[in-house]
Amino acid sequence: MTSAYRRSRSELPSFVLRLYVTGRDPSSVRAIANIEEVLREYLPNGSTLDIVDILRHPQRGVRDQILVVPTLVKLIPAPVRRIFGDLSDREQLLAGLGLTSSDRRTGQRGEEESK
């Protein structure tokens, strides 16, 4: 049986995100601003954002198989997801993070639980 339930923001799992950028390139600057805004609005107490400049640390881009920048990688919670571009499409970004626009207003995240 499947039932919908809502959890308070304090019950959300912590998010661990990694954003790969190329210096101060305009699309990288926009991606940083866009993800920081979403984190402030939706996950103010439950996220870690690691920004990796592949111009300074090219070995990280190679090791992590980054072919396009900017690239946002959601590491935790599972599943791992990659979102490409400047993250200006809010709905696509929220979907990639497993959030919805209603999470901002309610401070809760809707999920399904199997019982």
| Residue appearing with tokens 């639980």 | 113
Q: With cut-offs at 50, 70 and 90, classify the pLDDT of residue 52.
A: very high
Question: Would the pLDDT of 46 be above 90?
Answer: no
Question: Would the pLDDT of 110 be above 70?
Answer: no
| Residues 104, 100: Cα–Cα separation, whole Å | 8
| Residue (of 108, 110, 101, 83) closest to 38 by Cα position | 101
For the chain, give the number of residues: 115
At 107, which amino acid appears? G
